[in-house]
Amino acid sequence: MTSLQVNELVDILGKMKSLKRTGWVCRHVRNPESDADHSYSLAILALLLAPKNLDLLKCLKLALVHDMAEVFCGDYMPGTIDPAEKNKKECAAFEHIAESLNRPDFIDLFNEFEAETTPESKFMKALDRVDNIVTASYYQKEQGIKLVEEFTQSSMPRIEKLDDKTKQMLMELIRRL
């Protein structure tokens, strides 16, 4: 890596660690998770729950890069920005990231995640929502903020897209929260 790439990497990682997720901030969660916290949590869930027929490395890559653009364009809650405008901003941010880190594959990973074009991206998109439920369960236990039902309801359309075995496994996890 060049010095410029190292500096850009330091900035991106630092900003991911400090960017608090908007959904939790708006719900007045004390000490809400950052984008880095969320990406790590999602990667751990993928490591533990990815079905054997999926490419685990691909799942982990999707988990780790899916929200990187937010350090440049912000973390938007659903309904606060037109989806096409959000996608446009995130694509531009990923182009910058890919160029500055010399990782053109990051654009492909982002596009795959957003379009849900592979079994891995469909699973990870659903697992992204499940991570929100897991985090909501933690905040509910620690801070008494009732969020699990809300996040479970909003996650169901993504989970419903999965095969029956995977859907059942994720629903069992949610039931146990």
What's the CATH number where 47 sits? 1.10.3210.10
With a cut of 90, say whether residue 119 has pLDDT above it: yes
Sequence-distant (≥ 6) Cβ neighbours of residue 111 within 8 angstroms = 91, 117
Average pLDDT of the residues in 55-82 = 94
With beta carbons less than 8 A apart as the criterion, state whether 94 and 47 touch: no
With a cut of 90, say whether residue 38 has pLDDT above it: yes
Residue 147: give the domain boundaries: 3-176
Average pLDDT of the residues in 49-74 = 97
pTM (2 decimals)?
0.95
Q: What are phi and psi of 127, to 5 degrees?
A: -65, -30
| 105: nearest Cα among 116, 94, 115 | 94
Average pLDDT of the residues in 26-54 = 97
With beta carbons less than 8 A apart as the criterion, state whether 127 and 49 touch: yes
- Structural domain count, the chain: 1
| 42: nearest Cα among 158, 133, 128, 135 | 128
Average pLDDT of the residues in 106-111 = 96
With a cut of 90, say whether residue 173 has pLDDT above it: yes
